[in-house]
A and B are shown apart, each in its own frame.
Chain A
Amino acid sequence: DSGVTQTPKHLITATGQRVTLRCSPRSGDLSVYWYQQSLDQGLQFLIQYYNGEERAKGNILERFSAQQFPDLHSELNLSSLELGDSALYFCASGRGVPTGELFFGEGSRLTVL
């Protein structure tokens, strides 16, 4: 158990719809990272938040947005969904220690039909 909690674990929706994925980081971790893993691909960095503020952006589509709340949990909002958005979405948290280690949740598997 990494200490990072993600909900829901599975989600099936239709094209054009909007979904929200939720992440609770490990206790004490201020940074939250969102990654996307499409079929047979590596993990693609989407966005990072640190203590409520956006800190870094990766290959995140304009249809996607995220935020980190005062209690440090984070939500990733995906809108106008397309078939190609079907993927595993991972949340990770970390403390920025020298080793750079991140702790990952089990992921949310999104299927867009």
Chain B
Amino acid sequence: DQQVKQNSPSLSVQEGRISILNCDYTNSMFDYFLWYKKYPAEGPTFLISISSIKDKNEDGRFTVFLNKSAKHLSLHIVPSQPGDSAVYFCAARRAETSGSRLTFGEGTQLTVNP
């Protein structure tokens, strides 16, 4: 049962343009959503998150939008830079008493062309 899905395995954009990465989920008990970025030979690194009580969170060039009714979130990167080329994972959390396991999507490979 894939509770978090990223339907686009890859995305290619030009430098300076907007990158939009999408993610869908099925479990309405998720209360926090996160985006991680992963470079080759490195572990995933946290990028940005959003609580289920909000619909937008912005951090510099990165903005995450949450549409709870559609169970959909997206990550916008504006403007895109070649250094943003990486695999982006969407993740969701269902709060636990002592820590929080994350459920990950399959990832989207973003390539930003100079």
**Residues of A in contact with B (beta carbons under 8 Å apart):** 2, 4, 30-31, 33, 35, 40-45, 48, 50-51, 55-56, 58, 90, 92, 94-96, 98-107
Contact = CB atoms under 8 A, between A and B. Distances in A.
Contacts, number: 79
A100 B44 contact: no
A98 B36 CA distance: 16
B104 A43 contact: yes
Interface stretch (B12-20, B67-75, B77-85, B94-102): B94-102
Nearest to A97: B100
Given A43-B89, A99-B34, A100-B93, A2 B103 contact: no
Given A100-B34, A101-B46, A104-B45, A94 B99 contact: yes
A20 to B, nearest CB: 19
